[in-house]
Every structure is written in C-alpha cells, then in structure tokens.
Amino acid sequence: MPPSSALIAVQDIPGAGRGVLAQQNIPANTHVLDSPRPAAHVIFRQYRKEVCAQCFGYDRGRNLPVKDNTTGKVFCSEACRENWIRDEDELGAGAWLALENFVKSKSKAVVSTLSQCSVGDKPGERAVLSRWEEAEKIASIHRQVRSVDASDPRPGIRADKGHRRTMQNVCSQPVDPDILAYLLSGMLSHRQAPERWDAEVATLAMDPEPYKDNADLEAHCNAFLQLASIVPRDLLESCTGQICQTISNASSHNSFGIRAGGEDGEEYMGYSLYPEASYFNHSCLPNISKVRVGRTWQFRTAREVVEGEQLCITYLGGDEKDLTVEERRQRLKGVWGFECMCERCRNEN
C-alpha cells in the first residue's frame, strides 16, 4: 500500500505519474516517513568483510569483528548478528549458506558485471521477455525435479538427459555473486511476506528494459537458474522467473545506493530496493532529506512545506548535486529515464 498519514498522501500528479503531497503545512525538520526494510538488496562482494549484513554499518574499510563462518556474513556487533539470524530465520540462513558454498566452489569463474561498462545496445522489451520465458521453462522443470523427494517411492518427474545437460551447462557458466545475492534477497523477502510483495513491490513503476546490454540480461537469467539449482527446496516457490523479473524491472527506477556515511558517502557499497521510498519524485532542490539509520531510511522535511506541495527527494547521490544543469539532466535521464523539469533546473536553464 502507498504510504499515507496525517502528513502525507500519495496521489496522481498531472503529467508526472504519482507523487507524495503534503496533507497540511509541515514545519522544517519534521519526520514524515520511515522505510524500514529493503525488499531486495546487495552488498557488493568486494565489501563483504567490511559492511554489516544487518545494519549496513561500515568502519572506514576495516574488517568487522563478528563473523558468521558458515554464511560468510560479517556484523558490527553480536547484537546485529542475533537480529540477522532472527530476521532471516532458518530458511534464509540455509539459502545464504548454499549461495556462499556455490560461489566459493567457483572461485576461478567469479565475475562482477554490475560495475562493468555496457557493451552493445540495451536489449529491447521483446528480447528481454523471450529470454526470461526460456529461462522460466527450464526452471519450472527443475523446480518439479527438485520437489520430488528422493525418498518418495512414487514415480515422480525425473530429469531427462537433455535437462540435466542444460542445468550442468548453466551451473558451469561464470557466477556473478552480486546478481545472485540481489535476486536471492528478493526471493527471501517474497517468501517471508508474499502479500507485502504483491501490494508494495509488484506495483512499483517498472522498467521493461532494465539491462544495460545482452551480457547483463544473460547474467541475470543464468543467476536465476543457478539459484533454482542451489536454494533450499522450501524456497523454490519464490524462485520464479516472474519474481526475478519483478526485482530487475522494479530496481531500475526505484533503488537506492548503500553508501558509507549515508546519502552523501563516497563509498558505493551496494544498492537496495525500498518500496515506500520510491513514491517520492525527484527534485534537484529537494524539500525532503533522507538519512539512513541502520537499514531504515528516514525522511524529514528539509524546510517548511505548505499543504498541497509535492514532497521530493533527490535521486542524485554523493557530489552529483554539484553538477551543472546539463550534467544533472543527463545523469537523471540515463539512470532514471526522465527529463528533470524541477524548479532548480528550470531556473538554471
């Protein structure tokens, strides 16, 4: 459900999709919204020893003191480790362990495509759909094969040679731990609260062409099939092509960087999808400031706002705010897909 309170409401804005409007005059520095949990997130593997898996805490590049030896996750404190175990429950811990073992077993074939520049054109909507359809066909057979209990004497679906070869081939492809972790975190959050997923994630603004090039699309479909072969059986129902596509398509316009030192931090350590936060439109002169406290994004008024005024955050991070109007517009167009017509851009143009 879109966020709503005595202070704010989500409404259609003529010519600008939906946005968040002030329901009354609100003084400066008023806390208007919390977005407590990401629906999907990833800490890039290169930061895996430095960023707390629970609160995203970072200590200037030092390795964090508390380590979970099986899943490879690190924590800033014992309390964070306990909270992580409580939130993820047994299924989540089992899934992260399976992922860690899989990635370790592939040590020579680990790639990270997220930081690579694009090679060639973005695949179009038709190409994206047909590649996912193909992957889902293979995955649906694999889910059936895996859901047959080996000790069940009744005849179940057995994998034929062709399917076994296909899956072997998929699993021998290079692995991208960052894509695997991002998709897995989304599957786990779907599994924990399917109704929240349907109401808050599946309804976000979607980008039908979210991949920067064909290799990126290929890496996502491969990661999906690799997960179909390694996640615990109880997670298989959430390991579908549709859920992975929702994660990818929603992330393109709705995800936030996880940066050290909050919003303006230089260190870009991962990213995350916060459904409630995504209702705010962008302005280069925002009247809402956001600050991350642990996993939670808190939104406050940056100045006094009047009833009916649209509440906006900035999608620009780090030092991007200091860019010229042309540079800002180019960045926003490239990453978020819109022409910025905010007050500041109109004034500086």
Within residues 80-99, the interface with Zn ion by CB under 5 A covers 80
Is the CB of 73 or the CB of 131 nearer to Zn ion?
A: 73
Q: Taking CB under 5 A as the rule, does residue 135 contact Zn ion?
A: no
Within residues 33-62, the interface with Zn ion by CB under 5 A covers 52, 54-55, 57
Within residues 279-308, the interface with Zn ion by CB under 5 A covers 284
CB of 340 to Zn ion, least distance (A): 3
Q: Taking CB under 5 A as the rule, does residue 345 contact Zn ion?
A: yes
Q: Taking CB under 5 A as the rule, does residue 340 contact Zn ion?
A: yes
# chain residues binding Zn ion, by CB under 5 A: 10
Is the CB of 37 or the CB of 220 nearer to Zn ion?
A: 37
- Residues 227 and 146: their CA atoms lie apart, in Å, by 12
Centre a 10 Å sphere on the Cβ of residue 15 and count the other Cβ atoms it contains.
Answer: 6
Is the CB of 277 or the CB of 342 nearer to Zn ion?
A: 342
> Strand pairing of 40-43 and 66-67?
unpaired
Q: Taking CB under 5 A as the rule, does residue 316 contact Zn ion?
A: no
CB of 48 to Zn ion, least distance (A): 14
Centre a 10 Å sphere on the Cβ of residue 282 and count the other Cβ atoms it contains.
Answer: 17
What is the phi/psi pair of residue 33, to 5°? -160, 145
Q: Taking CB under 5 A as the rule, does residue 76 contact Zn ion?
A: yes
CB of 310 to Zn ion, least distance (A): 13
Q: Which stretch binds Zn ion (CB under 5 A): 95-103, 127-135, 192-200, 337-345?
A: 337-345
Q: Could you list the residues that contact Zn ion (CB under 5 A)?
A: 52, 54-55, 57, 76, 80, 284, 340, 342, 345
